[in-house]
Structures are given as C-alpha cells and as structure tokens.
Amino acid sequence: MRITDDLTVWRERRAQPWGRVGFVPTMGALHDGHASLVERARAENDVVVASIYVNPTQFDQATDLDAYPSTLEQDLARLEALGTDEVLLPRYEQIYPDGFRFRVDETEFSRTLCGAHRPGHFGGVLTVVLKLLNLVRPTSAYFGEKDYQQYLLIRDMVAALFIDTTVVACPTVREADGLAMSSRNLRLDPAARCRAPIFHRTLCANLDDATVRERLAAAGFDVDYVETRYGRRFGAVRLATADGSVRLIDNVECSR
C-alpha cells in the first residue's frame, strides 16, 4: 500500500494508466461501514484508492471539527489489511489553495434535511468531493447509504458536471442493536451509547413522522428533523453526552 501526502507527486503518478480504479473517500476514524465500501471497491476494480481528509469546510461548528475523532495509525493498518492499493492524505493548503474561494453550490435539495440545520455543510462536501474525484479520476466511487442525502447530491453533481465516474451506493452497516455505524459513535459515552439505538428503532416504527418526532423527544433526543421523502424516512438527532452532544443521522426505507 502506497501512502501519498503530496498532491504534486500524486498527480504525476496518477497520470499513468491504472486500469479500473475504485475510490473510497473518508474522513478517517474507520469502522466496518468503511470496510464494506473498500471491500466492494476491491471486488470490482483493479486499483483501490482511499483518501483520509477531515474536511473543515463542511463543518458548521468549529467545536464539532475540533472534536472529530482521529485514529490515523489504526486507519492505515486497517486499509492495508483490506487490500487498499493507494491512500491519499492531502493537506488543507493543497486541497484549498484558493482558501475555499471557489465552491460548489447546489440550490435545492442541499437546503433541506441536514442542509436546513447545517448551513454551508453540503457546499463543503460537494466541493471537496469534486476536487477528490478530479484528483483520483476513479472509474467508480463508493458511498454509504447512511448519508443518503449526501449520496444523492454527489450522484447528481457527477451527472450534472459530466464527471466520468459511477457513484455507487452501499448499504448501511449497523451494530447488532441497529445503530448505524458512524465515526461519531466514538464520542458517545456509555449512557448515550445505550440510548442511541432507540433512534433507529423509532425511525422504523409504523408511525407518522410527527409521532416519531414526539417519541424521540420523549426518549431524550434533541430532534433536528424526521421527514419522509424518496421512499425513505430521514432523521437527525442530537444526543447529550457527559462533555457535550453528538449528532446522529440515519434513514430507513419506508412505504408510507
């Protein structure tokens, strides 16, 4: 596994033909959900590239960025064990030489659901993903369905901007109790971790959205939204911990 943290070196190497390239962009703190994306990429491509970059432009709160978990050594060991060929570790000044002067702005769907509660979030997400796709030039890029709004926005951006990459959605990987795997779960203290699975169970209940919101609030969650669209029920909540709160998102297929 080759690790590259210099984009000049990366671009020189990537100018060579690599065959089918599968790409898994991450912000690190890897878990089994990330592993499933790498395994899918490994099965379908000649070369597997993963990136680890905690993108500051998608955080709407500086405290959230500061608290984001970092486990780089473990992440690299895990990627190597999964058969990853290339890892890209870009630096801010290389990703944003313009200081984020130029950015992607989607004007409809990104203003709803998570976008309505995290101003600027999806502008940061779409901008960094576009940059990474241009750098890696993958045949396919793999994204988890836990972040389903993000997946739809990236899929549609790729189509709208004529990027020659197939965006692949992979099923959400869950803990045994139903909690969607997320890097943010590392920030849950024991009491919050015990309560967190109620979120998924309540989203799955055969109830209308308003009743789901009421049930979650009664269970101690600070509810950002619960909304059904595109055949899925989307939800985002905040759960208090000993040193603050953790934001959890999830979505489930829904026939309502």
What's the average model confidence in pLDDT over 165-169? 98
Based on the residue annotation, tell me whether 31 is a catalytic residue of this protein.
no
Residue 243's pLDDT is 86
Closest CA to 143 of 227, 42, 33: 33
Residue 49's pLDDT is 98
Please, what is the angle between helix 197-204 and helix 209-218, to 10°? Answer: 160
Convert the pLDDT of each residue in 59-89 to its tens digit. 988 889 998 999 999 999 999 999 999 999 9
Q: CA–CA separation, 47 vs 111, rounded Å?
A: 35
Convert the pLDDT of each residue in 127-156 to its tens digit. 999 999 999 999 999 999 999 999 999 999
Q: What angle do CA 234, 240, 246 make, to 5 degrees?
A: 55
Closest CA to 24 of 16, 15, 36: 36
| Percent residues over pLDDT 90 in the chain | 95
Closest CA to 58 of 103, 28, 24: 103
**Cβ contacts of 112 within 8 Å, gap of 6 or more:** 149, 227
For residue 214, pLDDT beyond 60:
yes
For residue 19, pLDDT beyond 60:
yes
Q: CA–CA separation, 200 vs 131, rounded Å?
A: 33
Residue 254's pLDDT is 87
Domains of the chain with CATH codes? 2-170 (3.40.50.620), 183-250 (3.30.1300.10)
Q: How far is CA 182 from CA 35, 145, 211, 221, in A?
A: 12, 12, 26, 17
**Cβ contacts of 136 within 8 Å, gap of 6 or more:** 14, 21, 23, 49, 51, 88
**Cβ contacts of 224 within 8 Å, gap of 6 or more:** 114, 117, 235, 236, 237, 238, 247
Convert the pLDDT of each residue in 224-252 to its tens digit. 999 999 999 999 999 999 988 999 999 99
**Sign for the pseudo-dihedral over CA of 203, 207, 210, 211:** negative
| Percent residues over pLDDT 70 in the chain | 99
How does residue 255 score in pLDDT terms, banded at 50, 70 and 90?
low
Residue 256's pLDDT is 57
Q: Of the residues 31, 34, 121, 200, which is catalytic? A: 34
Length of the chain equals: 256
For residue 198, pLDDT beyond 60:
yes
Tokens encoding 87: 């890892």
Q: What is the mean pLDDT of the chain?
A: 97
